[in-house]
């Protein structure tokens, strides 16, 4: 469940309204999300930070300092890591050096089974907090994307109202004019002109949530001057990702021909389909029979090693298979084989009597060609005996 703090949004709206006369929106430096206690990999946090930066820029309430400029500034200051600039004093210092007027600090915390995302907007001139927001929900990557959308919506006053998910939404196409005098053709022409930005809302989330697809029905009011005065989500079959709130932000900026008979109320369905299928699922680990089958596939090659050097004994092979099912590397000392998740042998070292021998080297090369089914639960370490007679 994502919480909303409307007073914070209202507070920031007043602040934004007071500066509406300025020529350009304020410049904000968005720093990395600070991960406190979650098990999300660093790469996921990086993607979520990129998404946060994009969402802040998409509101058009701020100009956003590119992340590479922040990295370059921190590198110039010889800081040990870009990700270590979490302290308020650090972010204020760097923000001022980049000519930003505000900085955005975010923290992701694990509380019980849920994750909480907090955000603080700092005024760099006064070095004081200007506004804050918080959201609580699932700790999955998709769930945190929703938290990012909620926090950005609170800070900019653009958070959409609650979404009503319908099992069987109406299958209409094109604009539906609820009231007013504009024609469907006039409305569709404006929608077509902006369809690229709508598609971008979908594609930037598709990177984080492969296979995301569904329909979103929006309703908006076209004022007598042609501006969009209100945008609402009628229903959505998308399962999170923030596409809806991104579209709402885009539609608010559209301009239509001036209607002659008063405001026009429009409903429009947007349909999103992924052009590529979701990645196939793989088992968590290899079974005993799958390991035996992969090793038996190279049994004849191992036996040829014996036939070549005529040395009897037992070769104990520890094999590493990567996730593609192939042996990645074979050593010549101890056969400790590690199979990585692609199904390839990543490491193979012959042990025992055949260590550091021509026979052992030959066996290692044979084991390297073994292939196994892909799996997902980390590298697999196997010790396998080949009896040579």
Task: Tell me the pLDDT tens digit for each residue of 358-369.
Answer: 888 888 888 888
Strands 176-179, 264-272: pairing kind: antiparallel
Cα separation, 28 vs 95, whole angstroms:
8
Cα separation, 7 vs 17, whole angstroms:
15
Cα separation, 178 vs 286, whole angstroms:
58
**pLDDT higher at 304 or 96:** 304
**Is the confidence at residue 119, as pLDDT, over 70?**
yes
pLDDT of residue 25: 82
Burial string for 4-39 (b: 16+ CB within 10 Å, else e) reads bbeebbebbbeebeeeeeeeebbbbbbbbbbbeeee
Lowest mean pLDDT among 8-12, 99-103, 279-283, 311-315: 8-12
Compute the CA torsion angle 327, 379, 332, 357 (nearest 10 deg): -90
Region 324-332: mean pLDDT is: 45
pLDDT category, 304, cuts 50, 70, 90?
confident
**Is the confidence at residue 240, as pLDDT, over 70?**
no
List, in order of start, the domains of the chain with CATH numbers. 6-156 (3.40.50.10610), 176-272 (3.30.2420), 288-388 (no CATH)
pTM, to two decimals: 0.40
Residue 288 tokens read as 């005993």
Lowest mean pLDDT among 120-124, 172-176, 328-332, 359-363: 328-332
Of 30, 63, 66, nearest in space to 49 by CA: 30
Which residues are bridge partners to 354 per DSSP?
none
Q: What percent of the chain has pLDDT over 70?
A: 72
**pLDDT higher at 140 or 23:** 140
């Amino acid at each position: 469940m994502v919480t909303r703090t409307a007073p914070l949004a209202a507070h920031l709206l007043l602040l934004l309204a007071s500066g509406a006369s300025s020529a350009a929106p304020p410049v904000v430096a968005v720093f990395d999300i600070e991960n406190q206690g979650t098990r999300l990999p660093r790469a996921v946090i990086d993607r979520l930070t990129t998404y946060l930066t994009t969402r802040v820029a998409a509101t058009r309430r701020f100009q956003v300092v590119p992340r590479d400029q922040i990295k370059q500034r921190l590198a110039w200051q010889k800081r040990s890591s870009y990700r270590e600039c979490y302290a308020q004093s650090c972010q204020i210092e760097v923000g001022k050096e980049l000519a930003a007027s505000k900085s955005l600090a975010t923290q992701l915390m694990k509380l019980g089974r849920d994750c909480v995302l907090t955000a603080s907007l700092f005024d760099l001139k006064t070095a004081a907090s200007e506004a804050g927001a918080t959201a609580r929900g699932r700790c999955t990557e998709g769930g945190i994307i929703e938290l990012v959308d909620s926090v950005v919506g609170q800070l900019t006053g653009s958070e959409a109202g609650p979404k009503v998910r319908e099992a069987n939404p109406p299958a209409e196409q094109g604009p539906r004019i609820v009231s007013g005098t504009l024609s469907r053709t006039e409305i569709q022409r404006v929608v077509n002109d902006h369809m690229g930005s709508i598609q971008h809302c979908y594609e930037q989330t598709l990177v984080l949530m492969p296979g995301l697809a569904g329909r979103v029905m929006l309703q908006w009011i076209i004022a007598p001057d042609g501006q969009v005065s209100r945008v609402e989500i009628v229903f959505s079959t998308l399962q999170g990702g923030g596409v809806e709130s991104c579209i709402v932000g885009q539609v608010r900026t559209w301009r239509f021909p001036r209607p002659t008979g008063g405001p026009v109320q429009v409903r429009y369905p947007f349909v999103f389909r992924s052009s590529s299928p979701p990645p196939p699922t793989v088992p968590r680990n290899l079974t005993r029979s799958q390991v035996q089958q992969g090793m038996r596939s190279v049994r004849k090659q191992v036996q040829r090693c014996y036939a070549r050097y005529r040395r009897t004994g037992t070769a104990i092979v520890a094999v590493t298979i990567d996730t593609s099912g192939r042996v990645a590397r074979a050593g010549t000392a101890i056969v400790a084989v590690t199979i990585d998740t692609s199904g390839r042998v990543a490491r193979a070292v012959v042990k025992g009597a055949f260590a550091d021998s021509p026979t052992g080297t030959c066996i290692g090369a044979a084991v390297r060609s073994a292939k196994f089914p892909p799996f997902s639960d980390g590298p697999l370490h196997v010790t396998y005996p080949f009896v040579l007679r």
